[in-house]
Amino acid sequence: MRIRSYFGLWLGRATKFALRISGRSGTSLPGLVAGKLAPHLLQDLMTQLTDCVMVTGTNGKTTTTAILYAFLSEDTKWLTNRGGANLHQGLLATMLGASTLSGKLLVKKAVLEVDEATLPKITAFFHPTAILVTNVLRDQLDRYGEVDQTLRLLSEGTSYPGTALVTNGDDPLAMSLGIHRSELTYYYGFTHSPEVTTTRADVRDGAFCLLCGQELVYDYFIYGQVGSYHCPNGHFQRPVPDFGGQYDGITGQLLVEEFKSRPNPVFAIQSPVRGIFNQYNLLAAISVARVLGISPSKIQKGIVNYEAPTGRFQVFQGTPSRILALVKNPTGANSVLRAIEEDENDKVVCFIINDDDADGRDVSWLWDINIEEFFPRSVCKSWICAGTRSLDMALRLAYAGVDRNSIKVVEKLSQLVDATSVNVHTVYLLSTYTALYPLNEILREGVKNG
Amino acid sequence: MARTLRFVHLFPELLNLYADQGNLSVLMSRAKLRGIDAEIVPIKLGMKIDFDQADFVLLGGGSDREQAIVGKELLAYRQDFLNAIDGGLPLLAVCGGYQLLGEYYELPTGEKVPGLHLLEMTTRAGGQRLIGNIAIEWIKSDQGPKKTLVGFENHGGRTIHDYPPLGTVVKGYGNNGVDRKEGVQYKGIVGTYIHGPLLPKNPHLADYLIKNALRYRGFTDELDELDDQLEWRAHQRVLDRMQVTQSH
Ligand SMILES: [Zn+2]
């Protein structure tokens, strides 16, 4: 290790200690101060890893990482950045937590959620065992510019041929990352979709051939641009997946079939998550586990350890019970709404929309959420909007046809518990990133007192 | 006679980067509430464009790749487009669509990507993207209870022209971050970098566009008042957060 890295390491550890004795639990701060002092510290620690999986993509990183961690940590110790601290400083903070003062990493295996723009910066000095790409969708335009740019970053990050790439074969953009690779490229996809929809007008940024610009032809859509597609000029098409999934919405079982292995194993997993987008996350995690050589029986055992991370359909029991779901882009929000649609009881839906940097300052994406489709199927008694952009959301609902009298705007997040203490089965709270952790606290307190 | 309006959306499959259909949904809804029989006519790539059939045209924004495809497609219709605009066709062009109205877009390499050249206007790629909330004073400030237009801008290009702007910048960047002008207003054209989308929080501009379309089609342009409390609260919230004070 470089001398400078030692100083960084000690400073980072000291910061972590100081935070702990002052009762704060900053996830990234130790990494931030250590990284400032010692730019190569992350590299010095990471290169000690013997096994490392990085999970990236637009949506589902946190859930997929948590599921994968449940499988992997069944009988071995693995590091993970729980809580979604997925930038350089967050990764460093995770590594610091498992290193000695002399810079030795005590746990040599890590499953890490990594931001799309951070990935190529890390792979410039460290090659993980495997990289998983969940999907490539429109996200926070003012941060990255455009989806093309994200694709360039991911392509750069997954270019090393010695790293296994596991990617979503049903998403043409995520799939395209595999085109120019030969070895160690694996696709997963759903061979049978629980709800095949061709009529939904979801956002389809990827619905064009990247080679010739032609609109892709779809046999069916599953969500967003994800489905069974091909270029009419024959440039590319949905690949036969290495790991094919079939989800049974009634039993909640995910059947996995390995098409390219001989003999091809078939096994079933009891899914702990809701909504089709989460079944993708589950299938993605299973695919990586299989690529790493984890047996189906160990996966079946490990899934029991899965705990929903904050805001990933996190349930707060009570009367009514409240469910907190993160929304950060239209495709994710549409997926959450579709999962809510499955609930046929009377409900309240709340949108908590902030526009800080971490949320995306541009809220035009609210107009890409398919409220028009959701509203008639929602069985929803009332709608509540909160956050700095509550009024933008209220307008969005009004222009989608929701009765203006059933839309309530509350000024403070703390008012949400009272405002939702009504006689319904479930209250759904859809929140952008910066409101998520405050809401987590408020809901936990509210349920205790209520 | 029953009033009918056709809102043409050019290439919705390509140009919908900043939720442009939000703008259309506002126009549709506000037209229908006035008993106007309105419909959205999406024109996809490869379909023939008949400007005589349009009472209003929306040209939205797309990624560079999509913008280039659209530019090429529309170039074949340039003369028709020019004629329609001379005749007063109402057109709302946002972001990339706005840039496309000009003569060219100059890349950092000096290469000039040709536009439709419907207006004597040019755009040059700048350094930093100009991103953030924006408030402008609309030049047609007699059109509603507020003089301002609010929204969000996010553009790398710097646009320059000598036409009247859509408004003068109160807070934000506008066309180029220098001359305090935002957008363009010429005949039936409204061009702007403001998305967010533009119309939900600016109902006075939405109604102005509807009136233009009605007049263009030869109907009376009278519109009943709507309950816009929510719209004006949202509009005012943006002004408050940007600390813009105004009298009206
Ligand atoms: Zn093609």
B72 in contact with A, Cβ within 8 Å: no
pLDDT of residue B246: 64
Query: Among residues B9, B161, B195, B204, which one is catalytic?
Result: B195
Question: Is 60 exceeded by the pLDDT of residue B235?
Answer: yes
pLDDT of residue A23: 65
Residue A398: phi and psi, rounded to 5, are -60, -45
- Average pLDDT over every residue of A182-204: 70
Distance A213 CA to ligand 1 centre (A): 6
pLDDT in tens, A89-101: 999 999 998 999 8
Q: Which of A395, A410, A411 is the best substitution to test chain B (most B C-beta atoms within 10 A)?
A: A395
| Residue A316, token pair as written in the block | 């707060």
Confidence of residue A206 (pLDDT cuts 50, 70, 90): low
Three-class HEC string of A264-323? CCEEEEECCCCCHHHHHHHHHHHHHHHHCCCCHHHHHHHHHHCCCCCCEEEEECCCCEEE
Stretch B106-122: mean pLDDT: 93
B82 vs A: CB within 8 A: no
Residues in chain B: 248
Rounded Cα distance, B98 and B166, in Å: 12
Nearest to B67 by CA among B188, B155, B177: B155
> Hey, is the C-beta of A143 within 8 angstroms of any chain B C-beta?
no
Which residues have C-beta within 8 Å of that of residue B89, sequence separation ≥ 6? B51, B54, B56, B57, B188, B216
Q: Please say whether the dihedral angle defined by the alpha carbons of residues A408, A413, A414 and A416, taken in this order, is positive or negative.
A: positive
Residue type, A132: L
Q: Please provide residue A267's backbone torsions phi and psi, each rounded to the nearest 5 degrees.
A: -150, 160
Digit-coded pLDDT (tens) for A347-357: 999 999 999 99
Neighbouring residues of A285: CB distance < 8 A, sequence distance ≥ 6: A64, A67, A68, A71, A132
Q: Which of B133, B152, B200 has the CB atom closest to A395's CB atom?
A: B200
Contact A189, A256 (CB under 8 A): no
Binned at pLDDT 50, 70 and 90, residue A140 comes out as: very low
Residue A368 CB contacts under 8 Å (≥ 6 apart), including other chains:
A138, A203, A330, B16, B19
> Which of these, A186, A191, A222, lies nearest to A204 by C-alpha position?
A222
User: Tokens 């309950």 map to which residue?
Assistant: B227
pLDDT at residue A144, as a whole number = 41
Least confident range of A20-24, A257-261, B187-191? A20-24
Burial tier of A328 (Cβ tally within 10 Å: 0-12, 13-18, 19+): buried
ipTM confidence = 0.95
C-alpha dihedral, B108 to B113 to B116 to B117, nearest 10°:
60
Q: Does B40 touch chain A (CB under 8 A)?
A: no
User: What pLDDT sits at residue A332?
Assistant: 87
B237 contacts in A (CB within 8 Å)?
391
Looking at CATH, the fold of the domain delimited by A3-305 is given as UDP-N-acetylmuramoyl-L-alanine:D-glutamate ligase (3.40.1190)
β pairing state of B181-182 and B167-171:
antiparallel
Numbered ranges of CATH 3.40.1190.10 in chain A? 3-305
Q: State how far the Cα of A130 lies from the Cα of A110, in Å rounded to an integer.
A: 11
Q: Is A33 helix (H, G, I), strand (E, B) or coil?
A: helix
Instruction: Indicate the helix (H) or strand (E) that contains A109.
Output: strand A109-113
- Residues facing residue B149 across a β-bridge: B136
Parallel, antiparallel or unpaired: strands A426-431 and A347-352: parallel
* Residue from B9, B40, B65 to probe the interface with A (highest A Cβ count within 10 Å): B65
* Range of weakest confidence among A105-119, B64-78, B138-152: B64-78
Query: Is residue B240 scored above 60 in pLDDT?
Result: yes
Query: What pLDDT does residue A205 have?
Result: 56
3-state secondary structure B199-212: CCCCHHHHHHHHHH
Q: How many CB atoms lie under 10 A from the CB of residue A91?
A: 27
Q: What is the DSSP letter of A131?
A: E
**Cα(A393)–Cα(A367) distance, rounded to whole angstroms?**
9
* Angle between helix A390-399 and B229-241 (nearest 10): 150
Distance A140 CA to ligand 1 centre (A): 27
Interface with A, mutate which of B30, B237, B240 (most A CBs under 10 A): B237
Q: Please report the pLDDT score of residue A143 as a whole number.
A: 41
Say whether pLDDT at B177 is over 60. Answer: yes
Mean pLDDT (whole number) for A300-326:
90
**Peptide bond before A320: cis, by omega within 30 degrees of 0?**
yes
Task: Give the residue ranges of DSSP H helices in A168-265.
Answer: 172-176
Domain with CATH 3.90.190.20 in chain A: 312-449
Interatomic CA distance for residues A22 and A428, integer angstroms: 34
CA distance A58 to A312: 15
Q: Residues A112-127: pLDDT tens digits? A: 999 999 999 999 999 9
| Encoded tokens for A291 | 């690529």
Q: How many CA atoms lie within 13 A of A335 on its CB side?
A: 28
At the top level of CATH, the class of A312-449 is alpha beta
Res A142 pLDDT > 50: no
- Over range B197-209, report the average pLDDT: 96
The reply to whether B95 belongs to the active site is: yes
Dist CA B135 CA B171 (whole Å): 5
Q: Is A160 exposed, middle or buried (0-12, 13-18, 19+ CB in 10 A)?
A: middle
Domains, chain B: 4-221+228-242 (3.40.50.880)
Q: What value does the mean pLDDT take over residues A236-249?
A: 93
Q: Tell me chain A's radius of gyration from C-alpha atoms.
A: 22
Residue A200 has pLDDT above 90, yes or no: no
Q: What is the mean pLDDT of residues A386-395?
A: 97
Q: Find which of A147-161, A277-291, B141-155 is predicted with most confidence, using mean pLDDT.
A: A277-291
What is the A179 CA–ligand 1 centroid distance (Å)? Answer: 13
Look up B9 and say whether it is catalytic: no
- Give the helix/strand (H/E) hosting A93: helix A88-96
Interface A–B counts its CB contacts (< 8 A) at: 76
Which amino acid makes up residue A418?
D
Q: Do B62 and B17 contact (CB within 8 A), yes or no?
A: yes
pLDDT at B193: 96
